[in-house]
């Protein structure tokens, strides 16, 4: 593989990790755990793996262990640092015994079910150390949820003599890992299952999982781009930039990028929902800021918008729910809709909404009618695999800017000229920051230690990460500890609870205290690109979110 100069330099970087992992260790059990909610239902769903104790690693005696074969899966969307999780896992099992082997299942969980894999060797692993992307084995979104899938997977695991499987993924993927661990334990399959927390959205975290990997790098990439736009914005002084950022269920990315760049406006979905802020209120607030800045001779600015905002706006929830029902898979209305020319789809949907019944019918029809053409059509696109609207395809940034334009007075001296951006893929496969390179390697190595100590149904945990890496704390927590019940497609199912932005916590409170000043003044910060070499305070600094959360 031909490498750039930076890749060559990064290949030589040796990730730092907790001192405790650098020698012989033992697993020390902590408190008995229980789920975050719905305890009886979660226990009933996971009788074999519920109520296990937390694990912390401490110095222990040197023990000789036989070689082990381990499988690894990358599941869900890409996030910076995934290759280092695999590298840490590889080095960890080789430390257990040099004859240990690591098999990577190709293109996500599908590789396990369809028995597609590759043996990961020193040569392969060394090509991918400290690199972005998931291309070492690829990823996929196939759900591991049925007995048939579990049995198909077990067949190849037995054939390769794999006794442990590591699933690297987000909340859905680790929920699947928990089901797999439960099943294999129930049938005494002899296969351990360990999870690693991945999602750049930052919504897989709790007291034991301080952050999900990739969040640090992605926010730094997006913040560099936002800072570049702000500098251009301040130079040209004639454009308003509406920037949509990844984050369907939570606004952690938008909030972190706001802390790093100090835009004029940043919307937080959780605040919109909590305070029942209407679309009209959102639009009016932005319009007022634009008017005040225009009158002060500043006809430019930046607005950050989380990807999932539309689902948090109160009046959109019933509208989206109604449209989801109309376009439910294999329904007669879905078939009728799909046969229509695109030019007729909006009027068809408008008619259906106007003919609707129920307390929200009139409001749904009025809201849909008020939407810009492009957004109205995007709301009616094919549903995702869960039957939900694909919010990433809805150009919320354009919807808001068009509705803002309609609110602005005519005949003013200053002008409103909007520009639109969506930053998503730009951050998913970036070369990991030093923080993510270290954190991911430590997570993978910790997973190997959980395997060595016989654990299953656990997620690797690395904490105290605002301290130097040598002082980080490594261990594991039962996945069932993070679960609650949610209703999906009419059924109550166990899932890992998403961590949304806490409006009472330091990151949001710090932002809220400063945003009025940022709105009217040009207070932009320009973070610049990720730095890999240089002073620690520049290169190894974690996110503002993590620093603020741990400062209490």
Angstrom distance (rounded) from CA 251 to CA 493: 24
Domain boundary among 406, 440, 460: 460
Residue 42 lies in a domain: no
What pLDDT was estimated at residue 113?
97
- Which residues are tagged catalytic? 201
Long-range contacts, 121-128 (Cβ 8 Å, 24+):
125/86, 125/87, 125/90, 126/11, 127/1, 128/83, 128/86, 128/87
pLDDT at 487: 85
In a domain, 198, yes or no: yes
Please report where in the chains the tokens 């607030």 appear, as a residue: 285
Alpha-carbon gap, residue 117 to 109, rounded angstroms: 11
Same domain, 407 and 444: no
| Close Cβ partners of 275 (under 8 Å, ≥ 6 residues apart) | none
Average pLDDT score, the chain = 94
Instruction: Tell whether 149 is covered by a domain.
Output: yes
What distance in Å separates the CA atoms of residue 537 and residue 514, rounded to the nearest whole number? 24
pLDDT at 2: 80
Residue 186 and residue 76 in one domain: yes
Q: Is 323 in contact with 333 (CB distance < 8 Å)?
A: no
Q: Could you say which DSSP state residue 431 is in?
A: P
Same domain, yes or no: 79 and 126: yes
Regions of the chain where pLDDT drops below 50: none
**Residue 417 and residue 440 in one domain:** no
Q: Is residue 24 part of a domain?
A: no
Task: Answer yes or no: is 484 within a domain.
Answer: no
DSSP states of 447-460 as a string?
HHHHHHTT--SEEE
Q: How many domains does the structure of the chain reveal?
A: 2
Structure tokens at 338: 């799909």
Q: Which residue has the tokens 């040209």?
A: 236
In a domain, 48, yes or no: no
Domain identity same for 111 and 169: yes
Q: Which residues pair with 243 in a beta bridge?
A: 304, 421
Q: Compute the 3-state secondary structure of the chain and give helix, strand, coil in percent, each to the nearest 5.
A: 45, 15, 40
Residues 187 and 319 in one domain: no
In a domain, 388, yes or no: yes
Indicate which CATH number applies to the domain containing 127.
Answer: 3.40.50.450
Among candidate residues 535, 536, 528, 547, the one with its CA nearest the CA of residue 220: 528
| Domain-embedded: residue 57 | no
284 and 393 in one domain?
yes
User: What pLDDT score was predicted for residue 385?
Assistant: 61
Assign 394 to helix, strand or coil: coil
Q: Could you tell me if 442 and 545 lie in one domain?
A: no
Percent of the chain predicted with pLDDT > 70: 98
339 and 374 inside one domain: yes
Which residues form the domain of 412? Answer: 215-428+505-549
| Domain match, 210 and 73 both | yes
Helix (H) or strand (E) holding 491: strand 491-496
Same domain, 346 and 372: yes
- Whichever domain contains 267, its CATH number is 3.40.50.460
pLDDT confidence of residue 538:
94
346 shares a domain with 442: no
Q: How far is CA 203 from the centre of its chain?
A: 6
3-state SS, residue 410: coil
């Amino acid at each position: 593989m031909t490498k750039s100069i930076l890749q060559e330099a990064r290949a030589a970087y040796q990730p730092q990790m907790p001192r405790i992992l650098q020698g012989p260790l033992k697993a020390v059990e902590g408190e008995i755990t229980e789920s975050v909610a719905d305890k009886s239902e979660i226990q009933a769903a996971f009788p074999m793996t519920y109520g296990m104790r937390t694990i912390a690693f401490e110095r222990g005696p040197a023990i000789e262990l036989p070689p082990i074969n381990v499988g690894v899966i990358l599941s869900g969307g890409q996030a910076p640092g995934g290759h280092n999780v695999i590298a840490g896992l590889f080095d960890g099992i080789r430390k257990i015994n040099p004859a240990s082997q690591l098999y990577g299942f190709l293109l996500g969980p599908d590789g396990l079910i369809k028995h597609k894999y590759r043996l990961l060797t020193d040569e392969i692993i060394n090509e991918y150390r400290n690199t972005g992307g998931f291309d070492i084995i690829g990823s996929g979104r196939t759900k591991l949820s049925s007995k048939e899938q579990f049995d198909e997977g077990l067949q190849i695991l037995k054939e390769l003599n794999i006794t442990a499987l590591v699933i690297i993924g987000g909340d859905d993927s680790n929920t699947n890992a928990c089901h797999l661990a439960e099943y294999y334990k129930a049938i005494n399959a002899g296969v351990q299952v360990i999870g690693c927390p991945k999602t750049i959205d930052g919504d897989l975290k709790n007291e034991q999982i301080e952050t999900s990997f990739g969040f640090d790098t992605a926010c730094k990439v997006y913040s560099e781009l936002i800072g570049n736009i702000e500098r251009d914005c301040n130079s040209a002084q004639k454009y308003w930039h509406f920037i949509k950022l990844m984050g369907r269920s939570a606004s952690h990315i938008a909030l972190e990028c706001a802390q790093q760049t100090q835009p004029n406006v940043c919307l937080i979905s959780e605040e919109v929902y909590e305070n029942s802020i209407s679309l009209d209120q959102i639009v009016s607030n932005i319009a007022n800021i634009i008017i005040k800045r225009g009158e002060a001779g500043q006809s430019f600015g930046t607005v950050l918008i989380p990807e999932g905002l539309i689902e948090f706006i109160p009046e959109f929830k019933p509208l989206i729910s109604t449209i989801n029902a109309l376009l439910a898979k294999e329904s007669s209305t879905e078939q009728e809709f799909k046969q229509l020319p695109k030019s007729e789809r909006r009027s068809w949907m408008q008619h259906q909404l106007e003919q609707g019944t129920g307390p929200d019918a009139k409001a749904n029809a009025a809201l849909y009618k008020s939407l810009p053409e492009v957004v109205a059509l995007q709301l009616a696109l094919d549903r995702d695999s869960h039957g939900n609207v694909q919010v990433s395809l809805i150009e919320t940034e354009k919807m808001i800017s068009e509705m803002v334009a309609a609110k602005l007075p005519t005949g003013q001296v200053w002008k409103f000229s909007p520009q639109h951006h969506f930053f998503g893929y730009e951050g998913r496969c970036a070369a990991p920051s030093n923080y993510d390179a270290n954190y991911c390697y430590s997570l993978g190595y910790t997973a190997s230690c959980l395997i060595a100590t016989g654990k299953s149904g656990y997620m690797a945990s690395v904490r105290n990460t605002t301290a130097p890496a040598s002082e980080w704390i490594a261990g594991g927590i039962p996945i069932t500890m993070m679960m609650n019940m949610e209703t999906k497609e009419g059924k109550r199912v166990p899932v890992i609870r998403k961590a949304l932005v806490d409006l009472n916590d330091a990151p949001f409170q710090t932002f809220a205290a400063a945003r009025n000043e940022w709105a009217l003044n040009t207070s932009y910060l320009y973070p610049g690109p990720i730095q890999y070499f240089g002073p620690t305070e520049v290169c190894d600094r974690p996110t503002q979110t993590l620093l603020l959360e741990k400062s209490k």
